[in-house]
Structures are given as C-alpha cells and as structure tokens.
C-alpha cells in the first residue's frame, strides 16, 4: 500500500475525508481535508489539528484558532486566546510528526521545518502530547501501521 493510501486510511479512521489535489490551494471543509498530493506531511498536520481541537471547535474554520495564512479565508474568528491557539499549533505540529514517524515518513525533516530542533524540544513536544491525552491517537496509527506490515 502506498503512503497516500495509508494516510487516507488513517484520516478516514478518525472520521474525516481527504481529497488529494493537484494544486496547492487548501480548501477548508469541516469534515474533509483538501491537501496537495505531494504534501502527505501536511495531511497529517491537519488531521492533528482536528484531533487537538476541542470537539465543539472541530467544525469551525481553522478550528476556531483564528487566521491561518495558508487558507483561502482570512479574518477567521478566533474563539480561544492567542496563547492557547499558539499552544495548539505547537501540539498539532508534534502530534503530526509522531504520526509521520509511525508511518515511516521523513519525520525528522518535518521537525526541522517546524522548528523542533533537538532532544530538549522533542521532550517538550512529547510531554505536551501526553498531558493533553493525545498519545492514544499515535497508538492507533501505530497499530494500523503494524497491520500493514504483516
Ligand atoms: Zn498548523
């Protein structure tokens, strides 16, 4: 099974759909991600955002975290504090990276891209994921990846 198919299965597992697009425009939809077909890392990052957001914010544009310059929409409503939104961005970043690792992707490149630069950063990221009760999602992805190997 190729990587795109695996990521699609992971995203479907968490109740979302994904459209693999040929252009780089990201369209927001509450239950369907549109991701460039050559950016699988971004697909897991957006899934991680969904999983990090409180359920009542999951259907809001950018999960109620305010503007995201990568989306088409601008001036989106932020319904949590700027500080909480930044913390959630950071948590989503590391959660996505942990899922990439389970799928055998180049997670270290994403660490570099997202500014997680060393062991101390990794420990902080991991602590944040554990404290937020998000490791169960990584475990689910690990179990799926193991099934595909056997
Ligand atoms: Zn993000």
Ligand 1 centroid, distance to 144 Cα (angstroms):
24
Q: What is the model's pLDDT at position 121?
A: 94
Q: What is the model's pLDDT at position 141?
A: 98
The residue extents of the domains of the chain are 3-149
Cβ atoms < 10 Å from Cβ of 58: 17
Ligand 1 centroid, distance to 99 Cα (angstroms):
15
Ligand 1 centroid, distance to 59 Cα (angstroms):
16
Cβ atoms < 10 Å from Cβ of 38: 12
Ligand 1 centroid, distance to 146 Cα (angstroms):
27
Question: Which of 102, 3, 95 has the alpha carbon at shortest distance from 49?
Answer: 95
The pTM of the full predicted model, rounded to 2 decimals, is 0.91
Ligand 1 centroid, distance to 45 Cα (angstroms):
6
Ligand 1 centroid, distance to 46 Cα (angstroms):
7
CB 37 within 8 A of CB 30: no
| 59-90 confidence digits (pLDDT tens) | 888 788 887 655 555 667 788 998 999 999 99
CB 64 within 8 A of CB 57: yes
CB 102 within 8 A of CB 138: yes
| 88-136 confidence digits (pLDDT tens) | 999 999 999 999 999 999 999 999 999 999 999 999 999 999 999 999 9
Q: What is the model's pLDDT at position 22?
A: 87
Q: What is the mean pLDDT of the chain?
A: 90
Ligand 1 centroid, distance to 148 Cα (angstroms):
28
Question: With b meaning 16 or more CB within 10 Å and e meaning fewer, what string describes 120-137?
Answer: eeeeebeebbeeeebeeb
Q: Is the pLDDT of residue 16 over 90?
A: yes
Ligand 1 centroid, distance to 48 Cα (angstroms):
8
Ligand 1 centroid, distance to 2 Cα (angstroms):
24
State how far the Cα of 34 lies from the Cα of 28, in Å rounded to an integer.
7
Split at pLDDT 50, 70, 90, the class of 25 is: low
């Amino acid at each position: 099974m190729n990587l795109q198919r695996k990521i699609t299965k992971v995203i479907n597992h968490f109740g979302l759909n994904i459209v693999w697009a040929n252009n780089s425009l990201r369209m927001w939809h509450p239950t369907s991600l549109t991701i460039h077909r050559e950016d699988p890392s971004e697909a897991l990052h957006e899934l991680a955002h969904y999983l990090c957001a409180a359920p009542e914010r999951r259907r809001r544009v950018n999960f109620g975290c305010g503007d995201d310059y990568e989306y088409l929409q601008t001036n989106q409503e932020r319904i949590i504090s700027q500080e909480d939104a930044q913390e959630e961005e950071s948590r989503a970043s590391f959660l996505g990276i942990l899922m990439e690792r389970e799928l055998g992707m180049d997670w270290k490149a994403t660490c570099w891209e997202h500014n997680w630069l060393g062991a101390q950063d990794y420990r902080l990221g991991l602590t944040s994921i554990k404290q937020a009760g998000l490791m169960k999602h990584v475990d689910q992805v690990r179990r799926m990846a193991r099934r595909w190997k056997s």
